[in-house]
């Protein structure tokens, strides 16, 4: 018989498994499928191969017992539609988590979003972010506002694509559309970057005419944006990543939780960008700052940081994942994570 392809299968009852091997029983020479559960404790199972590949009947419909889905877990992650947001929770979407180094497999430039019940709020727009978001199942038409920390390419290079994709999704036969007359607020620290981008877009097909508006906003310190419908606010804090006054860290208050997004920053900015009573989640860049320094600063200054997610990761972290994990394990007492592209986190 033909052997089934190794990869991820969905059992007809809904769970996902990975077919690891086809093995032969040493006593009977019967062929067996060896497969691993992609949920719970990830148990490894064996059953006759003929059973693995057979069809079953359910509610009068004949289905394969195991349906091939994709090659591996990372593809599965992209394919699975996102579940409903549980009540009282927010979902973080990480599209790109890499720093502005040369292209690196599996790591795109910085881009993430906060999903609330009534909208999606987007932060930084590195390359590829909107494509990734769409593939991951995020509805780009739920975006209400976009915040850029500073105008370096690894934070703004995908903004044109993001706006362009939003428009594309409002067109054609599958159009759901932002409400006509709807609006996307775009906060960009450097006006000429936004203007240049709009110039570029205006020369694209249909002259980038939209049935909704984009509203440009400068970034200034203090309360920048508020969406009462979502109990959502963004505050900007000027940092010293750039000599000129154009780089910001963002403090995000979302449904009673506080997230600090460092943007790109100098280590000396850390006390300034961290609120006095700390945060539920610190998304801290490591492109310019060492994980050990960050952990020690949090500890020595008794910053109340409940979760530390490393972001904007470059060679320092990516070339030594194990070493970085060891540093975090030994020096940070809360939950920590080295963020990866195409992942989500609910809390
Ligand atoms: Zn950067």
In the reported structure, the alpha carbon of residue 276 is separated from the centroid of ligand 1 by a whole-number distance in angstroms of 26
- Axis-axis angle for helices 159-169, 191-202 (nearest 10): 50
Residue 1 lies in a domain: no
Based on the fold, state whether residues 302 and 186 are members of the same structural domain.
yes
Residues in the chain: 347
Inter-axis angle of helices 291-300 and 321-331, nearest 10: 10
Long-range Cβ contacts of 220-229 (<8 Å, 24+ apart): 221/248, 224/147, 224/187, 224/250, 225/145, 225/147, 225/185, 225/187, 227/116, 227/118, 227/119, 227/121, 227/144, 227/145, 229/118, 229/119
Last residue of a domain, one of 57, 74, 91: 74
Long-range contacts formed by 231-236: CB under 8 A, 24+ apart: 231/116, 231/255, 231/256, 232/114, 232/116, 232/119, 232/121, 234/121, 234/145, 234/147, 234/187
Q: How far is the CA of 295 from the centre of ligand 1 (A)?
A: 20
Residues 161 and 113 in one domain: yes
What pLDDT sits at residue 67? 86
Residue 249 belongs to domain with CATH number: 3.60.15.10
Task: Mark residue 312 as left, alpha or beta (left: phi above 0; alpha: psi -120 to 50; beta: remaining).
Answer: left
Tell me phi and psi for residue 335, to 5 degrees: -75, 140
pTM: 0.78
Q: What pairing do the DSSP bridges indicate for beta strands 213-217 and 222-227?
A: unpaired
> Residue 178's pLDDT is what?
65
Give percent above pLDDT 70 in the chain.
95
Q: Spell out the residues 6+ positions from residue 161 whose beta carbon is closer than 8 angstroms to its own.
A: 125, 127, 128, 129, 130, 131
Tell me the average pLDDT across 63-89.
79
Q: Which two tokens stand for residue 253?
A: 């208050």
Residue 173 confidence (pLDDT) above 50 = no
Residues 57 and 149 in one domain: no
Q: Tell me: pLDDT of 176 over 60.
A: no
pLDDT at 77: 73
Q: Supply φ then ψ for residue 135, to 5 degrees.
A: -65, -35
Sign of CA dihedral 308, 283, 342, 77: positive
pLDDT tens readout for residues 148-160: 999 999 999 999 9
Long-range contacts of 57-61 (CB under 8 A, 24+ apart): 58/12
- pLDDT at residue number 180: 62
Report the alpha-carbon distance of residue 187 to residue 31 in Å, rounded: 60
Predicted pLDDT at 282: 98
* pLDDT tier, 68 (very low <50, low <70, confident <90, very high otherwise): confident
- Same domain flag for 86 and 45: no
Residue-level pLDDT at 179? 63
Residue with tokens 């497999």, as numbered in its chain: 105
Cα 68 to middle of ligand 1, angstroms: 39
The last residue of a domain, from among 56, 74, 92: 74
Confidence of residue 177 (pLDDT cuts 50, 70, 90): low
Phi and psi dihedrals of 290, rounded to 5? Answer: -90, 135
Neighbours of 170 (CB within 10 A): 20
87-136 tens-digit pLDDT:
899 999 999 999 998 888 889 999 999 999 989 999 999 999 999 998 88
- pLDDT at residue number 80: 65
Residues 233 and 110 in one domain: yes
Report CA(146)–ligand 1 centroid distance (Å).
17
Same-domain status, 58 and 144: no
Q: What is the mean pLDDT of residues 15-24?
A: 94
DSSP H or E segment with residue 258: strand 257-261
SS3 344: strand
C-alpha 264 to ligand 1 mean position (Å): 6
Domain count within the chain: 2
Distance in Å, CA 131 to ligand 1 centroid: 20
**Same domain as 36, residue 149:** no
Q: Quote the ligand 1 centre to 151 CA distance (angstroms).
A: 9
2 in any annotated domain: no
- Among 58, 74, 90, the domain-final residue is 74
Give the Å distance between the CA of 104 and the centre of ligand 1: 14
The overall average pLDDT reported for the chain is 91
Q: How far is the CA of 49 from the centre of ligand 1 (A)?
A: 50
Question: Domain range holding 26?
Answer: 7-74
Please check whether residues 217 and 323 belong to one and the same domain.
Answer: yes
Backbone angles phi, psi at 223, to 5 degrees: -65, 125
121 DSSP β-pair partners: 114, 145
- Give the pLDDT of residue 52: 95
The secondary structure element, H or E, covering residue 27 is none
Whole-number Å distance, alpha carbon 37 to ligand 1 midpoint, is 38
Distance of alpha carbon 300 from the chain centroid = 30
Cα–ligand 1 centroid distance for 282 (angstroms): 17
The reported pLDDT for the residue numbered 81 is 59
How much distance in Å is there from the Cα of 190 to the middle of ligand 1?
A: 15
């Amino acid at each position: 018989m033909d052997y089934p392809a190794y990869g991820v299968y969905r059992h007809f009852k809904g769970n996902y498994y990975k077919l690891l091997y086809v093995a032969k029983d040493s006593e009977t020479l019967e062929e067996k499928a060896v497969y691993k559960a992609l949920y719970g404790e990830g148990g490894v199972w064996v059953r006759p191969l003929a059973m693995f590949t057979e069809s079953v009947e359910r509610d009068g419909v004949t289905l394969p017992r195991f349906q091939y889905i994709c090659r591996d877990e990372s593809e599965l992650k992209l394919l699975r539609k996102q579940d409903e947001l549980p009540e009282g929770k927010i979902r973080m979407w990480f599209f790109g988590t890499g720093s502005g180094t040369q292209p690196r497999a599996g790591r795109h430039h910085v881009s993430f979003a906060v999903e609330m019940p009534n909208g999606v709020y987007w932060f930084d727009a590195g390359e590829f972010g909107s494509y990734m978001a769409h593939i991951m199942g995020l509805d780009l038409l739920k975006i209400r506002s976009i915040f850029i920390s500073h105008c370096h390419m690894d934070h703004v290079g995908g903004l044109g694509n993001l706006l362009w994709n939003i428009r594309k999704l409002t067109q054609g036969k599958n159009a759901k559309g932002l409400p006509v007359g709807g609006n996307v607020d775009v906060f960009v620290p450097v006006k000429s970057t936004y203007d240049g981008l709009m110039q570029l877009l205006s020369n694209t097909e249909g002259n980038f005419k939209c049935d909704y508006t984009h509203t440009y906003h400068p970034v200034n310190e203090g309360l920048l944006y508020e969406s009462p419908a979502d109990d959502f606010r963004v505050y900007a804090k000027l940092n010293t990543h750039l000599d000129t006054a154009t780089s910001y860290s963002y403090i995000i208050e979302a449904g009673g939780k506080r997230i600090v997004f460092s943007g790109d920053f100098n280590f000396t900015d850390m006390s300034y960008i961290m609120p006095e009573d700390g945060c539920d989640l610190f998304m801290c860049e490591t492109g310019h700052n060492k994980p050990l320094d960050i952990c020690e600063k949090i500890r020595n200054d008794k910053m109340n940081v409940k979760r530390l997610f490393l972001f904007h990761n470059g060679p320092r972290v990516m070339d030594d994942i194990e070493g970085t994990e060891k540093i975090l394990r030994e020096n940070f007492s809360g939950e920590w994570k080295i963020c990866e592209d195409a992942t989500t986190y609910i809390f």
